[in-house]
Structure 1
Amino acid sequence: MPITTNVEKGTPSAMSAPSATSTTPSLNSPNATVIGDNSVPFIPATLTVTNLQYEITVKEQLKDGEKKSLFKKVPNVQRALLSNIGAKATPGRVLAIMGPSGSGKTTILDLLADRQARNIGKIQGDILLNDVPIKEYGSIRKRLVGYVTQEDDFIEILTVMETLTFAAKMRLPRSMSNKDKIARVHAVMQELNLTHIKDTKVGGTVVRGISGGEKRRVTIGIELLSSPSVLLLDEPTSGLSSTDALNVANTIKELARKGRTVILTVHQPRSDIYELFDDLLLLSQGKVVYFGKAQSAATYFEGLGHEAPVGWNVADYFLDLITLHQGDSSSTTTNEDFAKKYADYLATNPGAYLTQLTKEHQSTSEKIERDALLNQIKKAYTSEYAATTFTQTMLITQRSLTNLARHPIIFQASFVIHIIFALVIGSLFSGLQDRPEMGATSFNKSIALFFITSFLATMTFSAMPQFIIERSLFLRERAAGMYRTSSYFMAKTIVETLSYTVLSIIFVVIVYYLIGLHGSLIYYFVSVAVFVNVALSLIAAIGAGAANAEVGTSILSLLNTMAMLFSGFIVIRPDIPRGWIWAFWASYYQWAFAGMLDNEFSDGSVKGAATLVYFGMNQVEWLTKWRAVLILVGYYIFFRLMGLMLLLSKRA
C-alpha cells in the first residue's frame, strides 16, 4: 500500500503517480509528492509528434560496379532516418513502437528524450507535450520525460536500496529532506515489487546479484523516482527470459494504468505481451505504415489483403510482412509501399485514429490546473540539477569509495598483488651484485628503480576495463540529468588519487627496506605516488575517449611501451639518436626514473657519482629530484584535464 500524504504537516508522500480512476489529479490530491512546504506533482501529459523528420549527413554510397578510390572524394548526402512521423501518446495507455531493425524505433525515442547521440542531424516537425513544444520546458523536461535505456548499467556491488537512494538524492529537489527521499525510494520499490530484494546486491559480471528482470525494474525505478509524466523505454524486454519479459511488461502496463503516458520500442514481442499494448506505431525504413489501436492493426492489414494466418502471433506476422516488402520497390513487382497506403488511408478516412486524436485538446480547466502543477515543479527544481555541485561530488565520491571497499577485484585484489610483487621485487634485487663490466656504477639499484617504475605503471592497466564500464554508467546518468560532468570528474579524481597513493606507499615501504635503498624515504613516497597517478590519469584519459576496453588497452600498451623504451634506462640518454630525443623528454617514465636516480645516488659516493654520470644526469644540471616531481605533477594535471575534455565531448 502506498504511504499517504499529510499536506499540512509536510510528511513524505510515497507515490506521485495518479490513481487509475483519475488522470488529472488536483493540487490537493494525494497523488502529489510533498516536498517540505512545496509540492512536486505528477502531471498527466499527452505527447504529440507531428510531421517529424530527421536527416543526417553521410557519405554517398557507391553505385553497383563502382570501386572506391583513394583519390576520389566521396560527396556527402542527406539520409532521412525518419520521414513525416505522426503519432500521439495519451495518459493511461501504452504505445508500442515496432518495426524491423533499422526502421527508426530507437531514433524516435532518442529524439523524444533529446538524446540523439549517434548522429547530430537536422530535425523538422513538432514534438509537443500537452500541446506545448517540448523544448519550451527547458531543463525541467528531463523531470517530465523519463528515459529507460536498453542497457542496465549499475555499480554491481551496491544493493537495490543503495542504488535507488543514490538516484533519489541526485534527482529529487534540494528542498526535500533525506527522510522524504528515502520514503520515496521505498514507495517506488513497493510499486515495482522490489521490496523483497532491497538489500540484495544488484550484481554483474563479477558479483552475483538479482535477475535480469529485476534489474530492468530497478532501471525503471530510477526514472520513476522523479515521477515523470511520460515514460520512454527502449526495448525493455530485450535480453530477458520469457517469464522476466512478461513480468516487466505487466509492470509497465500497471504504470500506464495509473495515468502515465508510456511509450516503448519492442522488436518482436510474444503474443501475451502484445496483448498488453494499447496503441501501436509500426515503422518501415523510417516511415509510418500503421498507427492506431494495437488490437485493430490486424483488421487494418486485412483491409489491405493481408490476413494473419490462424494461430499466428500477429506481431510476428506484421514484421514478416513489412520486412518482405521493404526492399527497393524498383527491383520487384511484389513489393507494396505500406507507408504510402497508410498516408492515403489518413487522407481519405476522417475516422482514422490519429485524425481523431489530433482533434482532442486540453480543456481550459485542465490547462489551468496543469499549468499550476507545472509551476510547482519549476519552484521545486530551481536549477538544471536537483543537487548542488558539492552534493553531487560527495555522493559520487561516497559511492565510489563503497565500490572500492567492497569490490573483490578493484581494490582488494590490487592490494594483495602490490604486496606480493613488492616482496618479489624486493627479495629479487636485495642480493643482486653490481656487474664488473659496469665499472663503478651501482647497477643493481638502478635496475631495481627501473623495475619499480615499470611494475607500478603496468599494474594500472587493470583499471582500464573498469573505466569503460563506469563511463557507460556515467553517460547514462549524466544524460538523465543526475549530475554535472565536473562533479563526476572531481569525485573520480579524489577516489583514484587517494586509493592508488595508499597502494604506492605500501609498495615503497616493502621494497625500500628489502633492497636496501638509502635515498630519502619521503621522496620515494611522493615521487612513486605521483608517478602512479600520472599513469592512472593517462588511463583515465584514454578510457574517456576510447570506443571500448580493447581499443583503450591497445592504445595504452603502445604509449606505455614507447614511454618505457625512452625512459633513459634501456637506452641511456647520451646514446639516444637525435631524431628520437623528443620521445625521451616526452616520456613520463624518464622523469620518475631520473628523480629516483638523483634521490638515491646524490650522496657524494664514488658509485653514486659514477651512476649519475653513466645515465647522463651530470649533463642536465637544472634537473633536480623535486623538479622532476613537479614535472610529473604537470603530466598528472594535463592527463586529467584531457580526460575531462573527452568526457565533456561524449554523448550518451
Structure 2
Amino acid sequence: MAETAVRVEVEKAPSTSASSHTENAELDVPFIPASLTVLDLHYEVSIKQHPNEGEKKSLFKRLPTVQRALLNKVSVKATPGRVLAIMGPSGSGKTTLLDLVADRQARINGNIEGQILLNDVPVKDYGAICKRLVGYVTQEDDFIETLTVQETLTFAAHMKLPRSMNNVDKAARVNAVMHELGLTHIRQTKVGGKVIRGISGGEKRRVTIAIELLSSPSVLLLDEPTSGLSATDALNVAKAIEELARRGRTVILTVHQPRSDIYELFDDLVLLSQGNVVYFGSASGASPYFEGLGHECPVGWNVADHLLDLITLHETDKTQTLASNASKEDFAMAYRNYISTNGDALLTRRLAESSSSNEKQERDALLNKYRQEYSTEYAARTMTQVMLLTKRSLINLARHPTIFQASVFIHVVFALVVGSLFSGLKDRPEMGATSFNKSISLFFICSFLATMTFAAMAQFIIERSLFLRERAAGMYRTTSYFLAKTIVETLSYTILTVVFVVIVYFLIGLNGSLIYYFVSVAVFVNVALSLIAAIGAGAENSEVGMNMLSLFNTMAMLFSGFIVVREQVPRGWIWMHWASYYQWAFSGLLKNEFDDGSSKGTATLVYYGVQNLDWLTKWNAVIILLGYFVLFRLIGLLLLFSKRA
C-alpha cells in the first residue's frame, strides 16, 4: 500500500511547470485513488433460437428465446497506478464488461448478477457521483469539428467541473490537462472532421481522454483506445495512458491485438474467451502461464498475437471433434483450477488485500469533499447548460461552410429564380377570374422552404451521437440540449426565411401584409424543422430518417389544398387534409394575399374553399401552426429521452 500512497502524492503534485493557477486548479478537483473489483459478474441476454439445420422455416412461427451468457462469472481486480488490459477475440465480451463496469444501462438489456465494487464499496452506493469517479472513453471520437481543441475542452470543463470553481481555475484545469496529454501545441487547431481538416486521429483520441480527465476520475475506462490509429499514433496514445496510471489512477482498457511495444506497457492482463476469464494476472506472466499448459510462445513472436491466436483457435475448435474424439482443452476450466489450487494467484492476493484504517479515513475525507463539490446530479445549472450548448451551436453554425453559409447562398439564388419565374407567369383562362400565378407561387414558396429544411435531418442525426455520448457521461440534461437546439434552429432558419421572403415578395409583386408573410412563413418553416427533430430523434440512421421525412412531407404537400382543392378531397381522406400542416400555412397565405374584397381575390378564396370558413382567419392559421410546432417538438423531446446510447 506504500506504493499507492507515493503515486497519490504524485497525482496531487503536478509535474508541469504551469502557473500557480494551474496548481490550484488541480488541487481544487479532489482525486480519490480507488481500486475496482468485479466479483462473479454474470450477464445473460435473451436471443432468438434459430431453427436447426433441415428444419422447415416459417414466417409466422414465433421463434423461441434462449438465454445466452455474454459474461460468465467474471472476477478481476484493478488497482491504482497500474494499467489493466482486457484482451480477447471479437465477441468475447470485452466491451460488454466495460459497459457494465461503467454502468452504461442504456446498452444493457439482460440479467446481471454479481458485484462491482469501487474501493470495496458497491458502485451504486456512490449515487450520482459514480459517473464522475469512473470516466469512460468510448471507441468513437465524436466532436464539433469547427471548434478548436481548447474550445472543446473548455466547453467540457464548464459542464463537468464543480460550480464552486471560478472560470480562471477551470481554464487553468484545461491547460493542465492539455499539458499532461501533450495537446498544448494544437490548442488553437480545429478538431476537424469530414468537411474541415483538423488534428490527427491519435490527437483526437487524446482529446477524448482529456475530456474525461478534466473531472479527475479515480478509474479511467477506455474502449479500444488504439483502434483505427496508425502505429505511431497508437503507441503515443498507449504511452499517454500508461503515464496517467503512473500518476495514481486506475486504468482499464480493452484492446484487440496490440503490437509488442504497446503490450509491454500493460501491467495486468485479462484474457476473455466467449465471456469466460481464461487468464488474469500480470501481463509479463501470461506467456509463462500458457507455456505451463503446453503452449509455448514461438521465439520472436509477439506475445499478444500468440495469446490471441491461441484463444481464437480454441474458440473455433472447442465445439468441434478431433480425429481422436478428444475435445480441445478448456482454458476457462484450466484457469479456474489454477485459481482454486494456487494461493499466490494475482486474483487471490488482490482480493485478500485490505486498506489500513488511515488510508480509509483519508479516502472517506476525500469522498466527502467530492460529494460537497458535486452536490447535484449535474455540475452546471440548467440555464448554464442551455447557454453553453447554444453558444457552441452558434459557433459551429457560423464557422461551418456547408451548414449556414451555403444555405444563405442557396436561399438567395432560389429566391431570385422563383421571384423572376412567377413574376412573368400568367393566369390560366380555364380557372376563370382566380389569380393562379400568385396562388401557385405561394404554394411553391411553402414547398421549397420545407424541402430546404431536409438538410437539417442529416445534421441532426450526426449531432445525435455526440449528444448521446455526452449525456451518458452526465454532462447535461436532455432538455437543455433540446432547448438549445430549438433556439439555434429557430433563429437561423427564421433569418433565412426573412431573406427569402423579402426577395420573392417584391419580385412577384405580392400585395398582402409583408409582416404576416414574415411571421407565417417563419412559423411554417419551424414546424417543418420540428417534424425533422421528431423524426431524427427516433430514426435509427439518416437514411431511415430521410425516407420517413419524405413520406410525411409528400403526404402533407399532397393534401395541402392546392393540388386537390378542399371540396374535391374524397370524404375518406378529408381528415388527412385537416391534419396537413401545409394546409394551414397555404390557407393563411391565401387569406393574407386575397382577402382584400376584390372580385379576383374573392374568386380565388372561393376556388380553394377558404372563403366559407369564417373562423379560419390568417392569424388563426398561425396559431394552429404554432400548435404543430409545440407538438412536434414535444414528440422529439420524448423520443430523445427514450433513445439509448
Q: Which of the five TM-score ranges fits, normalised by the shorter chain?
A: over 0.9
CA contact (8 A) 2:22 2:169 kept: no
Q: Please name the residue that 1:154 is paired with.
A: 143
**Secondary structure at 1:487 match in 2:** helix
Q: Residue 454 in 1 paired to residue 443 in 2? A: no
CA deviations on 1:165-184 (whole Å, 9 max, x unpaired) are: 00001100000000000000
Distance 2:60 2:405 in 1: 55
Q: By how many angstroms is 1:486 displaced?
A: 0.8
Distance change in 2, residues 1:182/1:201 (3 Å):
same
Q: Are the aligned partners of 2:145 and 2:196 in contact in 1 as well (CA < 8 Å)?
A: yes
In structure 2, the partner of 1:257 is 246
Aligned partner letter, 1:175? S
Match of 2:390 in 1: 397
State the match for 1:274 in structure 2.
Answer: 263
For 2:57 and 2:454, the matched residues in 1 are separated by: 39
Assess if the C-alpha contact under 8 Å between 1:96 and 1:280 holds in 2: yes
Do the aligned partners of residues 36 and 149 (structure 1) sit closer, same or farther apart at CA in structure 2, a change above 3 Å counting? closer
Q: Does 1:341 align with 2:334?
A: yes
Worse overlay, 383-392 or 74-83: 74-83
SS in 2 for 1:143: helix
Q: Is the 8 A contact 1:35 1:177 kept in 2?
A: no
CA distance in 1, matches of 2:526, 2:115: 49
Q: Could you tell me which residue of structure 2 aligns to residue 293 of structure 1?
A: 282
1:247 paired to 2:236: yes
Q: Which one of the candidate residues 65, 75, 82 is aligned to 1:76? A: 65
Aligned with residue 168 of structure 1, among 148, 157, 169:
157
SS in 1 for 2:220: strand
CA deviation string 1:534-586 (max 9, x = no partner): 00111111111111111111111111111111111111111111111121111
Q: How does 1:413-424 map to 2 (within 5 A)?
A: 413-424=406-417
Instruction: Indicate how the Cα distance of structure 1 residues 20 and 160 shifts in structure 2: closer, same or farther if over 3 A, else same.
Output: farther
1:126-162 deviations in Å (ceiling 9; x for gaps): 1111111111011111111100011110000000000
Change (3 A) 1:143 1:509: same
1:423–1:289: structure 2 CA closer, same or farther, 3 Å change rule?
same
Instruction: Tell me, in whole angstroms, the C-alpha distance in 1 between the residues paired with 2:623 and 2:27.
Output: 51
* Aligned partner of 2:211 among 222, 225, 232: 222
Q: Which amino acid aligns with 1:73?
A: R
Q: Distance in 2 between matches of 1:148 and 1:410?
A: 29
- Answer whether contact 1:95 1:262 (CA < 8 A) is retained: yes
Q: Secondary structure at the match of 1:114?
A: coil
Deviation at 1:25, TM superposition (A): 4.0
Q: Distance in 2 between matches of 1:159 and 1:330?
A: 52
Q: Any conservation in 1 of the 2:89–2:308 contact (CA below 8 Å)? A: yes
Q: Of Structure 1 and Structure 2, which has the larger fraction of its residues in helix?
A: 2
Equivalent residues of 1:104, 1:286 under 8 A apart? yes
Q: Which runs of 5+ in 1 are unaligned?
A: 1-17
1:283 matched to 2:272? The reply is yes
Between 112-121 and 591-600, report the one with greater CA deviation. Answer: 112-121
Q: 1:584 aligns with which of 559, 577, 586?
A: 577
Q: Deviations over 1:504-542 (max 9, x none)?
A: 111111000000000111110011000000001111111
Choose which of 22, 40, 58 in structure 1 pairs with 2:6. Answer: 22
Q: Give the letter aligned to residue 550 of structure 2.
A: S
Per the alignment, residue 378 of structure 1 pairs with 371
CA distance in structure 1 between the partners assigned to 2:111 and 2:606 by the alignment: 64
2:347 is aligned to 354
2:508 aligns to what?
515
Alpha carbons 2:49, 2:63 under 8 Å: kept: yes
| Aligned position for 1:89 | 78
* Structure 1 residue corresponding to 2:482, chosen from 479, 489, 493: 489
| Secondary structure in structure 2 of the residue aligned to 1:289 | strand
CA deviation string 1:5-45 (max 9, x = no partner): xxxxxxxxxxxxx9997134499967999879994321111
Q: How many Å separate the matches in 1 of 2:25 and 2:71?
A: 44
The equivalent of 1:534 in structure 2 is 527
What is aligned with 2:301?
Answer: 312
Q: Deviations over 1:362-415 (max 9, x none)?
A: 111110111001111111111011110011111101111111111111111111
Structure-1 separation of matches of 2:547 and 2:189 = 36
In structure 1, how many angstroms separate the alpha carbons of the residues matched to 2:448 and 2:481?
29
Cα distance between partner residues in 2 of 1:90 and 1:100: 25
The whole-number CA distance in structure 1 between the counterparts of 2:14 and 2:550 is 59
Distance 2:108 2:82 in 1: 30
2:47 is the alignment partner of 1:58: yes
| 2:605 alignment counterpart | 612
Equivalent AA in structure 2 for residue 481 of structure 1 = G
Code of the aligned partner of 2:457: M
Once residues 208 and 27 of structure 1 are traced to their aligned partners in structure 2, the CA distance between those partners, rounded to angstroms, is 35
Residue in 1 that maps onto 2:544: 551
CA distance in 2, matches of 1:200, 1:353: 45
Instruction: Work out which of the residue numbers 237, 244, 247 in structure 1 matches 2:226.
Output: 237
Measure how far apart 1:216 and its partner are. Answer: 0.4
Higher alpha-carbon deviation: 105-114 or 68-77: 68-77
Tell me, in whole angstroms, the C-alpha distance in 2 between the residues paired with 1:385 and 1:35. 23
Assess if the C-alpha contact under 8 Å between 1:34 and 1:40 holds in 2. Answer: no
- The code of the aligned residue for 1:478 comes to R
Q: In the alignment, is residue 565 of structure 1 matched against residue 558 of structure 2?
A: yes
Please state whether the residue corresponding to 1:22 is helix, strand or coil: helix
Q: Which shifted more, 357-366 or 176-185?
A: 357-366
Change in Cα spacing, 1:229 to 1:37, as seen in structure 2 (3 Å) is closer
Percent identity, aligned pairs only?
Answer: 73
Instruction: Please tell me whether the aligned partners of residues 19 and 258 of structure 1 are also in contact (alpha carbons under 8 angstroms).
Output: no
Contact 2:25–2:173 at 8 Å: present in 1 too?
A: no
- Number of residue-to-residue matches in the alignment: 635
Q: How has the CA–CA distance of structure 1 residues 113 and 286 changed in structure 2, closer, same or farther, with 3 Å as cutoff?
A: same
**CA contact 1:98–1:265 (8 Å) conserved in 2:** yes
Alignment counterpart, residue 201 of structure 1, candidates 180, 185, 190: 190
Please report how far the alpha carbon of residue 74 of structure 1 lies from its aligned counterpart in structure 2 after TM superposition.
2.0
Give the match for residue 107 of structure 1: 96
Per-residue CA distance 1:295-332 (angstroms, 9 max, x = gap) = 11111111111112222111111111111121474432
Counterpart of 2:638 in structure 1: which amino acid? M
1: CA distance, partners of 2:126 / 2:294: 44
Structure-2 separation of matches of 1:221 and 1:611 = 64
Q: Secondary structure at the match of 2:403?
A: coil
Per the alignment, in what secondary structure is the counterpart of residue 402 of structure 2?
A: coil
**Could you tell me the TM-score, scaled by structure 2's length?**
0.96
| Inter-partner Cα distance in structure 2 for 1:531 and 1:369 | 60
3-state DSSP of counterpart to 2:519: helix
In the aligned structure 1, how far is the partner of 2:36 from the partner of 2:216?
A: 16
Asked if 2 retains the 8 angstrom alpha-carbon contact of 1:107 and 1:116, the reply is no
Q: Distance in 2 between matches of 1:429 and 1:636?
A: 29
Q: CA RMSD in A?
A: 1.9
In 1, the alpha carbon distance for the partners of 2:580 and 2:100 equals: 45
Provide the secondary structure at the position in 1 that maps to 2:106. coil
Residue 499 (structure 2) pairs with residue 506 (structure 1): yes
Deviation readout 1:66-125 (Å, 9 max, x if unpaired): 233233222232221111001011111110001111111000111111114334221111
Change (3 A) 1:251 1:30: closer
TM-score, normalised by the number of residues in structure 1:
0.95
Structure 1 residues 290 and 582, CA gap change in structure 2 (3 angstroms): same
CA contact (8 A) 1:52 1:85 kept: yes
